[in-house]
Amino acid sequence: MRVIDNEGITDPRINLALEEFALYHMDLDKEDTYLLFYVNKPSIIIGKNQNTIEEINVDYVEEHGVHVVRRLSGGGAVYHDLGNLNFSFLTKDDGNSFHNFKKFTQPVVDALNNMGIPAEMSGRNDLQADGKKISGNAQFSSRGRMYSHGTLMLDSRTENIVSALNVKDEKIRSKGIKSIKSRVGNINDYLDEPLSVEEFKNLLLRHIFEDSPEIPFYTLTDEDWAEVHRISEKRYSNWDWNYGKSPSFDIHRSHKFDAGLIDIRFNVRKGVIQSCKIYGDFFGTAEVADIEQALEGTRYEMDALRENLAPYRLQDYFGPIEDEEFFSLLY
């Protein structure tokens, strides 16, 4: 495993482009795994299948200059700032690692435990300490490669989470900052002496590479950085990618499954689906646009829906969900 040096960049548009560059361009046959650490200036990182405008507090974002950037992986929107350290393990997809968050978070949990922090895996994709969330994780897989990445809240301004994000849970929203602080924790709260992000990163690296005489780094070439900036301009600095179009729909059905939230919206005319958009924080390996396109032009009745979706393995798109659960949501 080698560590990619991001040279201290804090622009989320560059860091996400660097992650994408590493996924598709690094030699994962020669090197099994790459590890990338990065810190972003205040930003909201949107899950691939989410409706951006419904996830953010537009007034706060504009007033405070918060970056809004969509990532490649599924999952929910997260708030990043300079007190939050992000990690990403990039590797070959062996067919058994996608959805296996523990495989990638365990080295981090072990390192945190070694520092005296009672970190443990919680739920689908979180790490917690004493019942408080300290990390959220997501994954993306493409062309036989994948990454598993996550946040580590070291000294994050948790009060800004409520302000920057549209919190949908009524119980959380009504209690505001007090409720968030009861559910979310900073790692420094568990340490006798607070750490800077750089000190924290170095401690993690020393633990992860404790059996190596030195930590092997990969330094990007000028050609590498040119490609990273090209990816950033094409995708992560692109309004259409980050916000996209959010047309109005006349049928709206959503449900929170164990696999995550699935939110489906239709326009139906004369009993036929004219347009369809699917949002959510689920993790799939296939493009949900396939399902949207399969549904468009379909009669809005159960037999027709089943027939048109028969060629598709729904678990590839939405993770561990039963077919009947999905069809019950559709109709």
Co-location of 103 and 187 in the same domain? yes
Residue-wise pLDDT tens digits, 4-36 = 999 999 999 999 999 999 999 998 777 689 999
Co-location of 8 and 52 in the same domain? yes
Co-location of 236 and 253 in the same domain? no
| The pLDDT value given to residue 211 | 87
Co-location of 92 and 162 in the same domain? yes
| The pLDDT value given to residue 28 | 79
| The pLDDT value given to residue 169 | 55
Co-location of 153 and 168 in the same domain? yes
Co-location of 238 and 253 in the same domain? no
Residue-wise pLDDT tens digits, 233-269 = 999 999 999 998 666 788 999 999 999 999 999 999 9
Co-location of 221 and 129 in the same domain? yes
Q: Among 212, 200, 194, 257, which Cα is nearest to 86's?
A: 200
- Measured CA to CA, the distance from residue 86 to residue 209 in angstroms comes to 18
Co-location of 194 and 179 in the same domain? yes
**Mean pLDDT taken over the chain:** 93
User: Which of the listed residues 213, 228, 243 is the one where a domain comes to its end?
Assistant: 243
Would you say residue 44 has pLDDT above 50?
Answer: yes
User: Which of the listed residues 206, 222, 243 is the one where a domain comes to its end?
Assistant: 243
Band of residue 76 on the pLDDT scale cut at 50, 70, 90: very high
Residue-wise pLDDT tens digits, 169-226 = 544 444 455 556 678 999 999 999 999 999 999 999 999 999 888 999 999 999 999 9
Co-location of 195 and 301 in the same domain? no
Residue-wise pLDDT tens digits, 114-146 = 999 999 999 989 999 999 999 999 999 999 999
Would you say residue 63 has pLDDT above 90?
Answer: yes
Residue-wise pLDDT tens digits, 289-310 = 999 999 999 999 999 999 999 9
Structural contact between residues 128 and 137, judged by C-beta atoms closer than 8 angstroms: no
Give residue 183's Cα distance to chain centre. 19
- Measured CA to CA, the distance from residue 97 to residue 139 in angstroms comes to 10
- Measured CA to CA, the distance from residue 283 to residue 319 in angstroms comes to 6
Q: What is the CATH number of the domain that holds 165?
A: 3.30.930.10
Co-location of 138 and 154 in the same domain? yes
DSSP 188: G
Band of residue 231 on the pLDDT scale cut at 50, 70, 90: very high
Q: Among 159, 19, 136, 155, which Cα is nearest to 74's?
A: 136
| The pLDDT value given to residue 326 | 97
User: Which of the listed residues 243, 262, 278 is the one where a domain comes to its end?
Assistant: 243
Q: Indicate the number of domains in the chain.
A: 2
Co-location of 265 and 229 in the same domain? no
| The pLDDT value given to residue 176 | 53
| The pLDDT value given to residue 27 | 86
| The pLDDT value given to residue 141 | 96
| Domain span holding position 268 | 249-330
Co-location of 163 and 286 in the same domain? no
Q: What is the CATH number of the domain that holds 253?
A: 3.30.390.50
- Measured CA to CA, the distance from residue 324 to residue 327 in angstroms comes to 5
